[in-house]
Amino acid sequence: MVMTSCLMVYASLEHQIRKQLKVQNRYFPDMKKKPSQNPTARWVFQCFQGVTLLYIEGKELVVNLKERQKIIIDCLGSEYQHIYY
């Protein structure tokens, strides 16, 4: 049951990203660095490696955020933008 729930979340995330990329007419670089509107969720997760949350004097800062991660965050909506920006 847990595995099925995880797969549903995974598929939903992939669907949402692909749909919003097409609606916003934006592209996300694939593994060969070519623009694509159909990235896999696995590739998106891998692209977020290295993004770090840094705590300085009680404040949280997101570091190592690149343009390609910002494309995905914008596709996911305001809740994610609030977290990362």
CA distances (Å), origin 38, targets 3, 8, 16, 32, 34 = 24, 18, 11, 13, 11
Domain positions in the chain are 2-84
How high is the pLDDT of residue 85?
Answer: 86
pLDDT tens for the chain, 85 residues long, are 999 999 999 999 999 999 999 999 999 999 999 999 999 999 999 999 999 999 999 898 999 999 999 999 999 999 999 988 8
Q: What is the pLDDT of residue 83?
A: 87
Phi, psi dihedrals of residue 36, rounded to the nearest 5° = -145, 150
* pLDDT at residue 25 in the model: 97
